[in-house]
Amino acid sequence: MKNNEKILEENLIEMTKFKEQRDKELLLLEIFIGVTVSINMIACILIAPLTNMQDWLRVVLIFIGIIPFAIGICYALRIEQIAGFYECENCHYKYVPLYKSVFFAFHFNRNRKMKCPKCKQKSWHKKVLTKE
């Protein structure tokens, strides 16, 4: 019985480390997606007025930049939401917020101003990878 508990505890620790590693990889992917779609959008918007082409082609070129940007940012926000946890600076409660909360929250880097589900205070919540 004691041996089974020890094995279960070791497996739990291993799974926690694996999740933390996967979350780090996801956050790197988020940065890659954000930078890639941003560069694509800026390039398309800058090329459109600088080249000699018909107006409808310029509009198409701008949409070729904006549509992937909007889709990519939505995916990057989804990764931001599910990878790791947010920690309330007031009560130090760690949680995974709703997508809507992450989407509409003011942010600076990985800190977001959101309402804590536990203490109901609106404050800056810091992104952390572990729940401990």
Share of the chain above pLDDT 70, in %: 99
pLDDT at 3: 81
The domain segmentation of the chain, as residue ranges, is 1-83, 84-132
Average pLDDT over residues 64-91: 94
pLDDT at 7: 87
Distances (CA, A) of 37 to 43, 72, 90: 10, 6, 35
Is the Cβ–Cβ distance between 114 and 101 less than 8 Å? yes
Name the pairing type of β-strands 122-128 and 85-88: antiparallel
Residue 127: pLDDT above 70?
yes
SS3 107: strand
Residue 2: pLDDT above 90?
no
Is the Cβ–Cβ distance between 69 and 52 less than 8 Å? no
In angstroms, the CA 106 to CA 40 distance is: 24
SS3 44: helix
pLDDT at 111: 92
pLDDT at 118: 92
Average pLDDT over residues 99-118: 92
pLDDT tens for each residue of 16-65 = 889 899 999 999 999 999 999 999 999 999 998 888 889 999 999 999 99
pLDDT at 117: 92
Q: If pLDDT is split at 50, 70 and 90, which confidence band does 1 have?
A: low
